[in-house]
């Protein structure tokens, strides 16, 4: 049996404002719960950084973090250890290299909702866009969510299309938090003919995760995403987990449509893992088709170039 994976380094992109303070407080609590170290990352939005400018930015970021931690954590409860990283430009310009350089295990971001007519820079720095750039899991927090002990994680999956390494990563993450993990596959009425294959695949996953605090469920619902949210609420989930190969589901889950209705998943953290999929992600056939067309155009341009 392979050694369980551990989340040891958490990268937190921070703005020096109220949103950044809320995110830092949550990050400090999460890091202590997991026994992890924080790396606070600030993108200075400048074209370049001199050594002096970089030092000044690090000092400001450190002072900001120390002020938040000293206010939020009393003397009997020290905040998690942290280090500071600053880079020029925007978050997306350097987050890939920062994740690789510091061997980051998890990126923690505030979710936010990208406005329908957001400028490219806003959309590019949104959590759903960052997820496309990094290989490690990305955890996003709805606005104003305060930390509470993560006791129950719900992983919305497809038992017939599950990468084993990612499955164990998610199970290890829950185990590190000492949390229960429920795997649920929500399928539509038009998929009833495949129920036998779903059940067989679910039993195989249960065998693989034998000995862990894991439950597996199958659930039929008209709308898959609505069904996931309703199940998470009924199960009193503290976090929703996804494993997808692109950001389509996360973009839809945190769209303004759901935020306005205060759906349950907009009130708990969302954790996303990157996974190679055999099937198109739920509901994103148009998205996959669009990406395929883009790739075909790029290949054609290369051939004609």
**Per-residue model confidence as pLDDT tens digits over 70-103:** 887 764 455 689 999 999 999 999 999 999 999 9
Q: Please, are residues 13 and 45 in contact by the beta-carbon 8 Å criterion? A: no
- Residue ranges and CATH numbers for the domains of the chain are 9-141 (3.40.50.620), 152-283 (3.40.50.620)
Average of per-residue pLDDT across 217-245 = 91
What average pLDDT score do residues 169-189 get?
Answer: 96
Q: Band the pLDDT of 305: cuts 50, 70, 90.
A: low
Residue 283 pLDDT: 46
Mean pLDDT of the chain: 84
Interatomic CA distance for residues 143 and 75, integer angstroms: 27
At 60-72, the pLDDT tens digits run 999 999 999 888 7
User: Residue 296: which pLDDT band, with cuts at 50, 70 and 90?
Assistant: low
Phi, psi values for residue 244, rounded to 5°: -130, 165
The predicted structure's pLDDT at residue 58? 96
Q: How far apart are CA 5 and CA 11, in angstroms?
A: 17
- Considering only 63-77, 121-135, 199-213, 289-303, which range has the smallest mean pLDDT? 289-303
Q: Which of 227, 210, 226 is nearest to 218 (CA)?
A: 227
pLDDT band at 247 (very low <50, low <70, confident <90, very high): low
Of 92-101, 180-189, 280-289, the least confident? 280-289
Cβ contact 102:11 at 8 Å:
yes
Query: Among all chains, which residue has been given the structure tokens 């920062």?
Result: 98
């Amino acid at each position: 049996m392979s050694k369980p994976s551990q989340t040891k380094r958490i990268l937190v992109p921070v703005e020096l404002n109220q949103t950044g303070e809320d995110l830092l407080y949550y990050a400090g609590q999460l890091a202590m719960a997991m026994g992890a170290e924080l790396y606070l990352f600030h993108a200075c939005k400048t074209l370049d950084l001199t050594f002096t400018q970089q030092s000044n930015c690090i000092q400001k970021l450190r002072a900001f973090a120390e002020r938040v931690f000293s206010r939020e954590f009393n003397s009997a409860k020290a905040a998690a250890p942290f280090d500071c990283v600053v880079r020029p430009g925007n978050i997306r310009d350097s987050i890939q290299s920062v994740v690789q350089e510091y061997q980051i295990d998890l990126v923690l971001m505030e979710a936010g909702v990208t406005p329908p007519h957001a400028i490219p820079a806003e959309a590019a720095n949104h959590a759903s866009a960052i997820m496309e750039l990094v290989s490690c899991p990305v955890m996003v927090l709805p606005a104003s969510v305060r930390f509470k002990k993560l006791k129950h994680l719900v992983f919305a999956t497809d038992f017939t299309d599950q990468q084993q390494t990612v499955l164990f990563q998610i199970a290890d993450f829950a185990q590190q938090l000492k949390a229960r993990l429920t795997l649920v596959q929500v399928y539509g009425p038009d998929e009833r003919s495949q129920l036998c294959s779903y059940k067989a695949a679910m039993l195989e996953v249960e065998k693989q995760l034998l000995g862990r605090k894991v439950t597996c469920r199958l659930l039929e619902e008209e709308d898959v995403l609505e069904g996931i949210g309703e199940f998470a609420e009924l199960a009193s989930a503290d976090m929703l987990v996804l494993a997808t190969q692109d950001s389509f589901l996360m973009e839809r889950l945190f769209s303004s449509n759901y935020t306005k209705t205060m759906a349950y998943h907009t009130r708990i953290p969302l954790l996303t893992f990157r996974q190679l999929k055999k099937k198109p992600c739920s509901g994103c056939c148009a998205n996959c088709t669009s990406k395929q067309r883009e790739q075909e155009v790029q290949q054609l341009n290369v051939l004609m170039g």
